[in-house]
Chains A and B, each alone.
Chain A
């Protein structure tokens, strides 16, 4: 062991101990606490509250309500960061063409059959997670990452060329991704547009009626809790996350020789 490595280890130990000391002095307190913070109590009591119709979100699930209703603008900009990272990744692979005339390389028939089965099953689970996001644990982000797993499986088992020959090309996925982002934006300003047409006051990222903005997305449709804008946001985020990750993971599996032709 060299002298520099010992220095690194000792300084990390000192850093961790001081961090632990500072956090125990400050916010951490007695673990686990008996009560939650005041803000959390407000969020919990107004997630679904039929007694205060102007101060409620519209799902049974608090996390989805916070992500897309109480702190919707935060999530919108986090989605923007996500798009920035995806676009930057695509920019590295600009101009790389995939030669589809070569024979696709795949795994054995057993692996292919199992993958064909899971190509039906996993997206079904993902869609159920997305559509029930306001009732049970789940939502757009969870469903998107579950559905990305099937893309990884298909690309690894069947090979990238087979996927492209089947019609899952880069422009189509880019179109899906843009559709998701446009859907999120339109849902965010939907009530403002409707308010302009009717002539009532409304806010951006408004879900249910507020005291001076008496306009809202539908909460109940024929005895089913649809959750207003939460359902639409979850659906569009599901499309957007799946398409974004699918695009990047397909770029990942391009062979090095094809890339080196472009990068001289």
Chain B
């Protein structure tokens, strides 16, 4: 029974990752886009966890939820905040 719940949760998480990725690409404000991208990365971390890959979760959470948004925020601060017009 617990496996069924885990898998249903995994289905919801994968759909949420699609929504977050779409918002991250469409958003004009780069800071908001980076936050959406971090949400999408957190969803992927949950997917990795349920797919029995604890090693990848350990490396993925600091890299994709912590360091990559920090780098992109640094770049946004040093360049332009708005994408497009």
Contact = CB atoms under 8 A, between A and B. Distances in A.
A137 B55 contact: yes
A146 interface: yes
Given A137-B58, A148-B62, A256 B78 contact: yes
B59 interface: yes
A252 B74 contact: yes
A252 B71 CA distance: 8
B38 to A, nearest CB: 13
A190 to B, nearest CB: 25
Interface in A215-264: 245, 249, 252-253, 256
How big is the B interface, by class? 10 to 19
Q: Main secondary structure on chain B at its contact with chain A?
A: helix
A191 interface: no
Interface in B36-78: 54-55, 57-59, 62-63, 66-67, 70-71, 74, 78
Q: Main secondary structure on chain A at its contact with chain B?
A: helix
Nearest to A241: B59
A152 B66 contact: yes
Contacts of A61: 55
Contacts of A63: 55
A245 B59 contact: no
A86 to B, nearest CB: 13
A258 to B, nearest CB: 12
5 contacts: A63-B55, A137-B58, A139-B55, A148-B67, A249-B71
Interface of B: 54-55, 57-59, 62-63, 66-67, 70-71, 74, 78
